[in-house]
Structure formats: structure tokens, C-alpha cells
Structure 1
Amino acid sequence: MTGPASADVSCRVAWGDDAPAIAAVQVRAWRASYAGILPPDLLDSMSVDELAEHWRTSLTRPPDARNRVLVALERNLVTGFALTGPAADPDCDPLADGEVTDLTVDPHKRGQGHGSRLVQAVVDTLRADRFTRAVTWLAAQDDAARSFLTEAGWAPDGAHRTLDLTGDGTVQVKQVRLHTALG
């Protein structure tokens, strides 16, 4: 017997054809998650078509063989995505430390297990790429994401930074770094 509790859900490595769906999830999620953090005009200017082209390039020509884009699926609907690869921070070892540069779930699909499946897929992927530790950066104000990840075993490691999103100092986002052992 099947029903909502046994819906067809999974995670897999993204394909080039997933680019428009990933971009659409990104726009919806950013507009929901970063309202009040980023200027409304910046969020309103996000274009699914432009982002889809960026995603298509990232999916078909990654800069490193260990850069991966994973998607969470409900049947064939992309409900979220995650990016993994070698950690780029100067205090990280790119051979031992993997980084999750994005972990996003569609706002309309949150609380249904897609994020948990993505986190597990991220951990499995980073382990398969022989990383022993994972790091990720979160907006300092993003209590929901921090709570979600700390419940999954991640913890702050004391690192913090401020991103200048526009290059002129007008849009800055403070971030904190979390980490977890992959052993």
C-alpha cells in the first residue's frame, strides 16, 4: 500500500537538464530565506533563466572532478540541491576537508525530509571523495539552518567572515562556519 508517507523520494547527482529546476528552487528559496537579510531589489532581480545558464555550465564543466551538485527529488520534481567540493578556506586542507557550498530546499517542500536526505547524500558523497571533515558557511542570522545542521551533528568551529555581495560594501552578509567529522 502506498500513500504520502511512502512517496517516491530520493537524492542523486544532478544532470545538465536539471539546471532550470535547480535555478527555480534557488530563486524561491533565496527570496524566502534572505528576505530581511538582503535588499529586496537584489532578490527581485534574480532571474531563473540567467541562473539556469550558470547551473548548466556548473553541471557540465565543473572546475574540479570532486565538485558535485546533488538534487533531492520527489518523484521527478527537484525539491532541493546541494553543492560539494574541496574546501577553499586557507585554514582548510583541500585534500581532507570537503565543503558544502550550498544546501537549499524549496520553501514549499521544507519539513518533509528532503533536507535530511540531502545532508546524508552530501556526507556520503564527501566520504566517497575521501574527505574526512566537512565544512559549510551559513548566514549568521540563519537560525533555522544552524539548528537543522547542529541537530544533524554539525557544530560551529569558531570561524566567521563577512561577504561583500556587491563589491562596494553596501550589501554585506556575516557568516559563521560549521563543521562535522566524516569518519
Structure 2
Amino acid sequence: MALFRETADVSVRPAVPGDEDAVTRVQVDAWRATHAGTLGGATDLLDVDVMRTRWHDAITAPPGPGFAVLVALDGNRLVGFAAVGPGQLLALEVDPAERRSGHGSRLLAAAVDRLRTDGAEDVVTWVLEGDVARERFLGESGLGPDGTERALATGVRDVVERRWSATI
């Protein structure tokens, strides 16, 4: 027998101290599931302890005005996160097992709301070459590539990111 909820028990809220473990887990799992081929093994070299420390710092002591970390919850389980800075969507990841459940859309909407509240009129984000699912998601959400590219050295191979943007 299938159980159905009368109301969805999903939400987005600001990250709080203690969320850094789950945020790190989501990021590592998402990067390994999505980017392992593109990054040529660099995802196997991730320093999880350093990542956890950086997320703790971002949550407890943002580097300046306009920076925030938001988390998506399914019940009391953290299943995704977004990080914003002035006019930028710095990161948005959802646990690979929870994708296509609306968490990414809720996170993006909350991130854009936060950017607007902070006075932004535009949003930019970067997409790693070959991340077709993210391109589709962002395109369906109203963002598009603006022709700007940058090369990143991963320590294993160089990769290309393309900037996507939209007026908000």
C-alpha cells in the first residue's frame, strides 16, 4: 500500500551550524555522480575535511554582505543546498538520489529571492562543460549562456566553465 502525504514535507531554509556535514556529503556525492568523467579523476582527490571546514565557515561567518547558504529539506533530512554571493549563484547541488523531486527548483527560487532582497537585478552562475542536465535545468528556469567562458585547472586536467545569466 502506498502512503501519500496530504501536504509535502519539503522546505528550504538558511543553513545553520551543523549543516556542514550534510552539505559536504551532498556536494561530494553530486560532483562524483555528475562530473567524474569530465574532471578526469579529480573528484577522487577531493579533501572532504577541507570542504567541510569551508562550508562551516561559509555558514557561520559568511565572507561579506550578500553571501548565504540555503538548504533543501525532505522532512528533517538535508537533500540539497545553494550558496549565493552578490549577484551570483555560487553553487546549487542536490543529492543524486533526490534529483527530479523539485528540490533544485525550490533552492533556485529561494536563492533568487535572496539575491533580489539583497538588491541584485541579475544572477550569474557557472556551468561545467558537459553538464547537460544542469544546462537543461537552468534553461528551463530562464537562465541562458551569455558567451563568457573560463578555463579551470583541476590538478588532473583543465576544464571549461560557461557563464549563464538572467535578469531577475
1:155 pairs with one of 136, 144, 151: 144
Q: How many residues align?
A: 166
Deviation at 1:49, TM superposition (A): 3.5
* Cα deviation 1:12-53 (Å, max 9, x = unaligned): 11112100000010111011011211122x322334443222
| Counterpart in the other structure of 1:95 | none
Deviation at 1:5, TM superposition (A): 7.1
| Counterpart in the other structure of 1:180 | 166
| Counterpart in the other structure of 1:89 | none
**Structure 2 length normalisation: TM-score?**
0.93
* Cα deviation 1:61-83 (Å, max 9, x = unaligned): 11112101111111111111111
Asked if the contact 2:39–2:154 (Cα under 8 Å) also holds between the matched residues in 1, the reply is: no
How many angstroms apart in 2 are the aligned matches of 1:78 and 1:134?
25
5+ unaligned residues in a row in structure 2: which ranges? none
Percent of paired sites with the same residue = 42
Deviation at 1:172, TM superposition (A): 1.2
Deviation at 1:113, TM superposition (A): 0.3
SS in 1 for 2:18: helix
2:161 aligned partner, one-letter code: Q
* Cα deviation 1:90-144 (Å, max 9, x = unaligned): xxxxxxxx01111111100000000010110011000000100000000121111
1:101 equivalent in alignment to 2:102? no
How many angstroms apart in 1 are the aligned matches of 2:164 and 2:39?
22
| Counterpart in the other structure of 1:54 | 54
Asked if the contact 1:20–1:52 (Cα under 8 Å) also holds between the matched residues in 2, the reply is: yes
| Counterpart in the other structure of 2:80 | 80
Alignment of 1:96-175 (within 5 A): 98-166=87-155, 170-175=156-161
| Counterpart in the other structure of 1:94 | none
How many angstroms apart in 2 are the aligned matches of 1:165 and 1:58?
22
Asked if the contact 1:20–1:48 (Cα under 8 Å) also holds between the matched residues in 2, the reply is: no
1:30 aligned partner, one-letter code: W
Does 1 or 2 have the higher relative contact order (CA < 8 Å, sep 6+)?
2
How many angstroms apart in 1 are the aligned matches of 2:61 and 2:158?
29
The 3 A distance-change label for structure 1 pair 101 and 29 is same
